[in-house]
Amino acid sequence: MPSISNSNRMPAAGECDNGHSQSHPLGAAPTGAPALELWAGIECTVNRVGDSYLDQIEASGHAHRLDDLDRVAGLGVRTLRYPVLWERTAPDGLERADWTWADERLGHLRSLGVRPIVGLVHHGSGPRHTSLVDPAFPAHLAAYARAVAQRYPWVDRYTPVNEPLTTARFSGLYGHWYPHGQDALTFVRVLLTECRAVALAMAAIREVNPRAQLVQTDDLGKTYSTPTLAYQADFDNERRWLTWDLLCGRVRPGHRMWQFLIRLGIPAGELEWFLDHPCPSDVLGINYYITSGRFLDHRLERYPQAFHGGNGRHRYADVEAVRVLANGLPGPAALLQEAWERYQVPVAITEAHLGSTREEQMRWLVDVWHGAQDARAAGVDVQAVTVWSLFGAYDWDSLVTRPAGHYEPGAFDLRGARPRATALAGLLSVLAADREPSHPVLDSPGWWRRPEQRLLYPSVRPQRRPEDGASRQRGASTRSRRRSKRPPRPLVITGAAGALGDALGRLCTVRGLEHRLLASQDVDIADPEAVDCILSELEPWALVHAAGCGHPAPEGREATGDRRASMESPAVLAAGAARRGVRLLTFSSDLVFDGGKDAPYVESDPVAPQGVYGRRQAEGETCVLATLPAALVVRTGPLFGPWDEHNFVSATLRRLASGRPVAVVDDALVSPTYIPDLVDACLDLLVDGECGRWHLANVGAVTWHELAGLAAGLAGVSTSRLEPPAMRTGGQPRFGALGSERGALLPPLDVALQRYIRDRRAAHVNRLPDKATPRAMRKRTTRAAA
């Protein structure tokens, strides 16, 4: 066992037992403090569920892309949280460890001038020969840590165990991860094992490199409640510090968690071990997520049953606080100040991520960045903000309990042949250079600041507790908002009367994108002077041409199309956008191809339209890109959506439900596209500044007849009146399925059809039900109270 320096000195209030004096008093800004740093991290969870390991490094492909590190360095990032995970390097013991991957990666980081913060266990439980309730786990991890330090003596920052408290909850209290405990004792056992492992691992590392620093991370939120449940909220708010309190040697008789731990059967000597072997953080790492703030409410009738839980004394709902609190969450500045006041050591936000649409991801990062700056201005020694999940993450929507392949992009999107930098990557470069970001979507607030989007339940004003502090409550709730003083520039959308234009307007509202919908009576978009006039009046940052985006009916009566909408108008809009430096998005379809290929068409395939409509679309594409090479031209398939009753799927279901016969062709393969999926992907690409041709369609090719049967089956509508397929006629291509060599951004067709059926039935008609809850992935479930 590594030797650890002993100390029985009682830490003073507001001090970690690290023997260090404070560099500056509370409330005074650090003298000569360097600028706030931008760190980054790669989602690297390797967790065990049953006998299976779920490996994010493999899922993302980062395991096989050394040049990812060049992409990171190219953003201006100079500090990177990086995995040298025990489970991946030495799954069969140290004597059989394979250091090849770590050697190559760490060596390349060093050559790039990027400082790694090396992680050894990330939500994991170690190799198969041990577990988080194995008394030998700490010593085993310490041995591995020593080997890492010996091999890489130049590495000087470590996180031996990421988020011990969160991992203990998921592995010991909620039962999601191995060893799947579901009781308070297992939860505490796991946490004590992890914290002891951190202390032993750092002692082993420091025997090799005495200068090595501990960057101890954990999720830090805050719990609010009704007065009835104030006792439970107080308990949760004390428990959230337990990782750092144990490592600092603060958990002793008189500590609010001491009796809780003793009552569970933890021997006093096991807790006293941490008093004798303190291992405080050199940098206290706060992982900050929108879902980490919780609200407890005994009024169960206000909330869906899925959120109901209890603690044996009361039944209550446990929901995201941002969905209930009348004034929203106080923001990261308040949490940073709480941590600083409690421990008086440098702090950093070591994970900042929001699983959502692109502009919301950017707004979240800017909010967190400004919150950290606010905390620094208040005298808190905040060193950095860490952009997490640079290459995205998989299956956090199911808490990484099964390999479903659900992907959330990050600064890079992995759904193409190679990682594609998103607008979030551009924002990172701006922040890394200590410049103020200026993307037009940042002039509008994030959904967590828009009551119409964030409040899902009756709003509540919780009682203020003494520890909240008036100045702290005012922190990020006012300071971060003061920076957006410019009126947001709009997105201008043509085709207000069409299904696509209508959907664009709806989803821009949900996403907080200022926009103006234009109908034909508002402006003649084929008239250059009229277009110049409207662009001058509205001053948009982008223009979306959604007029005339229909698709021929499957019965074979090919629409002749409106020449003005499909060819002349796009050219005029492109010219107007080029003159004013405005981004342009326009649409085309699979009809630009001849249908003779036996595989999905990709962007580089030559066009050969067989009908009038397809020819006009092809000519329109060419004219737009010749006039404005920075334009984005999206080709898509036949559209269907929850708000349009005239699309093929809606009309077919309506006919079948009424008992009328339906006859459609069966030898024309198409890529039906769910309009909300299309709109979200298009808006993301527009925010990213993408250009050129891009194929966007739900993955999966079907005939019209198959599509009718699939939709009817999911809707529970009888297919008895669905007649045998008719033969193809007219100019319909035989094979019109679309693929993409740039990135398949839309989900599979069967998933889209399921959501279409659900959304069509939903009572909400002004927004998509699933958009009412933005994709804010993270680690929360209804609790089983300790």
Q: Which residues are catalytic?
A: 613
Q: Are 574 and 532 in contact (CB under 8 A)?
A: no
Q: d(Cα 506, Cα 508) in Å, to the nearest integer?
A: 6
| Long-range contacts, stretch 401-404, CB < 8 angstroms, 24+ apart | 401/49, 401/176, 401/177, 402/49, 403/54, 403/59
Six-digit token string for 295: 């609200």
Question: Which residues in 764-783 are b (16+ Cβ under 10 Å) and which e?
Answer: eeebbeebeebbbbbbbbbb
Q: Residue 454 corresponds to which amino acid? A: R
Amino acid, single-letter form, for residue 379: G
Q: Which of 640, 706, 364 is nearest to 503 (CA)?
A: 640
Q: Which two tokens mark 92?
A: 């069969």
Strand partners, 218: 286
Contacts 24+ apart (CB under 8 A), 605-610: 610/731, 610/733
Does residue 304 come out as left (phi exceeding 0), alpha (psi in the -120 to 50 range) or beta? beta
Residues 475, 337: Cα–Cα separation, whole Å:
9
Contact 431, 38 (CB under 8 A): yes
d(Cα 502, Cα 514) in Å, to the nearest integer?
14
Where in 396-505 does DSSP place strands (E)? 407-408, 412-413, 420-421, 491-494
- Coil, helix or strand for 364? helix
Strands 223-225 and 213-219: unpaired
Q: Which residues contact 618 (CB under 8 A, 6 or more apart)?
A: 588, 592, 607, 609
Nearest partner of 241 among 353, 338, 350, judged by Cα: 338
| Per-residue DSSP letter, 128 | T
Which value, in Å, is the radius of gyration of the alpha carbons in the chain? 28
Question: What's the sign of the alpha-carbon dihedral 649, 654, 658, 660?
Answer: negative
Q: How many other C-beta atoms are found inside a 10 Å radius of the C-beta of residue 631?
A: 24
Read off the tokens for 231.
């006792």
Amino acid residing at 638 = P
Any idea what DSSP says for residue 465? P
Both tokens of 688, joined, read: 């990213």
| Buried/exposed code over 560-574 (b: 16+ C-beta within 10 A; e: otherwise) | ebbbbbbbbbbbbbb
Report d(CA 522, CA 340) in Å as an integer.
Answer: 56
